[in-house]
Structure 1
Amino acid sequence: MMYAPRDLAAADPAQRKATIAYMKSVVDLTIGLGGEIVTLVPCTVGKLHPTASPQQEWEWVVQGVREVALFAAEKGIRVALEPLNRFETYLITNVSQALQLIEEVKAPNLGVAFDPFHMNIEEPDLIAALRKCGDKLFDFHLGDNNRLAPGDGILEWPLIIQALREIGYTGGLAHEAVPPIDRSPRNAFGAKQMEPEPWDVDEGTLRFLKDHSSSVINEGYYTSLLARSAETILPLIK
């Protein structure tokens, strides 16, 4: 995850260098786990204010992403840029920006990770944005407009799956539900959702989840979200 101080757009060159080293370590970890794709957000998630001119930050990001992508290419790993919504980043917030960065980096193993939760906020036409990715779509996240499971929001999943078929996407569908925690008496202040003692989650990840009004959810609740995703998506891809 791109928590602070990880940031390819940082004004501090040492910070950018450390971020590149971190991303290379993620590539190595991915290989060790038998993975094929690393998702990359160019700057710190939650950073909303630039620290240099747009031209300078863009140049730093192009250089940093290129170094990471070329390192990954040598090891047979693809890198997928994920645009986020404007409330989580100011840099890459839509598909066109991601494709522009890909064009300038000029690494064949660099593509797009499409998260419909984020793009439903930023794109005027979600389906058109998905089609625009074409063969540069490397990864796709399953989550509805409210970050619940597909089918628990307003997104039109038959149209989304149809668009994925039209562009020839054969990659994974990564389940990424980040449900808000009900902190009211209605749900006993989250007791039915949260893991009471998340001992195996590092402090940075836990802080990130809480900053997004969520937390480490318990196995039963997450299983119900996964089942809901399967109920919605499987009939559409068979």
Structure 2
Amino acid sequence: MKSCVTIALVPEIKTGPWIYWNDLEASMAKAADLGFDAVELFTASADAVPADRLAALADQFGLKIAAVGTGAGKVLHGLTLTDPDPAIRSKAVAFISDMMAFGATFGAPAIIGSMQGNAVSGIEKKQALAWLAEGLNTLGKRAEDQGVKLIYEPLNRYETNLINQLETGVSFINSLETRSVVLLADLFHMNIEETSLAESIRSAGSHIGHVHFADSNRRPIGRGHTAMNDVATALKEIDYQGYISAEAFPWPDSDQAATQTITSYRQYFSS
């Protein structure tokens, strides 16, 4: 397993759960100094950060790009894969496709979280899931062509009414035509929705392609009540080899949150 920390470069989501903010170079330098293996980026668009600049910074600081978030498509443009308007769904697929191409330059998958949307009033959940499946099938094929996976994230019930648990997520991605979609196990969402985080991880097994490392209150691990010993044991038992990425609030500030995160990562995963 490899350590990762999040960097957000979108001012409109300043209250969100990302450790570092705004200054890409300074954030990457701090991540490298602490010993992180990689960074996960949340940008406003696929061209918000020139690929050659990001490549140079990654090389300078010895960091990998673990994944790229797509949530700006919803936050800034109101795009989701389950909007009743087919034109908006098409724009959502295009936005995610561009983000996928950007990430694939670095071997990094794109994450679909908030852009999955909801079954809105007047639309049956079955129909919304059909639209979601259609979008993921299209995007999964493009991910395969680019040599990366596509990461789908079950969210808690307060953020989506579609898929909230890993078990449901496994059934859903197994129903897709594409085999290039994997699940994101976000420990914060799981603390709300899962009966047992460890058993859910064991059950999902190889379907898990990314982990978001945040405590029960969305603060860095060690600042809430998540039973991390059990979670770490389960991830080792399924032979998870991906990133453990801190998508947590910068509490009490970014530097202390990053230090707490890497300390916790080493506590649970370096032995």
Structure 1, gaps ≥5 residues long:
181-192, 194-220
CA distance in 1, matches of 2:114, 2:256: 32
- Counterpart of 1:158 in structure 2 is 229
| Of 19-28 and 93-102, the range deviating more from structure 2 | 93-102
- Counterpart of 2:165 in structure 1 is 94
Whether contact under 8 Å (1:48, 1:87) holds in the other structure is no
What SS does structure 1 have at the residue aligned with 2:175? helix
Q: Identify if the C-alpha distance between structure 1 residues 151 and 48 changes in structure 2 by more than 3 Å, giving closer, same or farther.
A: farther
After superposition, give the CA deviation of every residue in 1:2-34 in whole Å (9 maximum; x if it has no partner).
5152111111110111111111001111023x1
- Map 1:107-146; keep pairs closer than 5 Å: 107-146=178-217
Matched letter for residue 20 of structure 1? V
CA distance in 1, matches of 2:168, 2:83: 19
Is 2:69 aligned against 1:37?
no
Quote the offset at 1:97 in angstroms: 2.0
Whether contact under 8 Å (2:107, 2:147) holds in the other structure is no
Query: Number of matched residues?
Result: 197
- Map 1:1-238; keep pairs closer than 5 Å: 1=71, 2-3=73-74, 5-32=78-105, 34-41=106-113, 43=115, 49-179=120-250, 221-238=253-270
After superposition, give the CA deviation of every residue in 1:139-180 in whole Å (9 maximum; x if it has no partner).
001110011110010001111111000001010111111257
Whether contact under 8 Å (2:82, 2:119) holds in the other structure is no
> RMSD in angstroms over aligned alpha carbons?
1.8
| Larger relative contact order (CA 8 Å, sep ≥ 6) | 2
Q: Identify if the C-alpha distance between structure 1 residues 66 and 44 changes in structure 2 by more than 3 Å, giving closer, same or farther.
A: closer
Whether contact under 8 Å (2:119, 2:125) holds in the other structure is no
CA distance in 1, matches of 2:259, 2:245: 14
Whether contact under 8 Å (1:9, 1:42) holds in the other structure is no
| Of 142-151 and 98-107, the range deviating more from structure 2 | 98-107
Structure 2, gaps ≥5 residues long:
1-70
Q: Identify if the C-alpha distance between structure 1 residues 36 and 135 changes in structure 2 by more than 3 Å, giving closer, same or farther.
A: same
CA distance in 2, matches of 1:42, 1:8: 10
Quote the offset at 1:42 in angstroms: 6.6
After superposition, give the CA deviation of every residue in 1:95-122 in whole Å (9 maximum; x if it has no partner).
1221122111132221100101001101
CA distance in 1, matches of 2:249, 2:240: 24
Per the normalisation by structure 1, the TM-score is 0.77
Q: Identify if the C-alpha distance between structure 1 residues 223 and 21 changes in structure 2 by more than 3 Å, giving closer, same or farther.
A: same
Whether contact under 8 Å (1:143, 1:177) holds in the other structure is yes
Whose strand proportion is higher, 1 or 2? 2
What SS does structure 2 have at the residue aligned with 1:163? helix
Whether contact under 8 Å (2:198, 2:234) holds in the other structure is yes
